[in-house]
Amino acid sequence: MMKGRKVLGIFIILALLCSGVVLIMEEIAYTPNSAKFEEIITDTENAINLNSATSAELQKLDGIGEKTADKIIKFRERVRRFETIHDIKLVKGYGEILFETNKCMITVK
């Protein structure tokens, strides 16, 4: 009977230790890098509005030249306004890679 209690006690102690390690690991994983977090906030405040940006403003985005900027403007004028930032992927020549690169620098209003 004593042996069973010792094994149970050891098991409980190990379980508590493991759960504590998991909680600490989760907290470390979710701690934001404050410099990166501030950069994202700054970019959001100065984000380029896809529904009103000029060609020159759109060309400030990474990987966007005059042709792609003009395609974005034509899309919003001829097809429809952008409802979400994800809608920019509907523009020919603007795919997932460009979206991921620029998503913190664009907005729709």
What was the pLDDT predicted at 43?
A: 53
pLDDT tens digits, 15-30: 666 565 544 555 555 5
Q: Where are the domains positioned within the chain? A: 2-31, 40-107
CATH code linked to domain 40-107 = 1.10.150.320
Name residue 11's amino acid.
F
DSSP state of 46: T
How far is residue 68's CA from residue 49's CA, in Å, rounded to a whole number? 15
What was the pLDDT predicted at 24?
A: 54
Residue carrying the six token digits 């690991």: 25
Q: Which two tokens stand for residue 62?
A: 């990474």
Between 62 and 45, the more confident residue is 62
Q: Is the pTM of this model over 0.85?
A: no
What was the pLDDT predicted at 9?
A: 72
Residue carrying the six token digits 């952008």: 82
C-beta of residue 108 within 8 angstroms of C-beta of residue 102: no
pLDDT at 3 over 90: no
What was the pLDDT predicted at 50?
A: 93
pLDDT tens digits, 53-98: 999 999 999 999 999 999 999 999 999 999 999 999 999 988 899 8
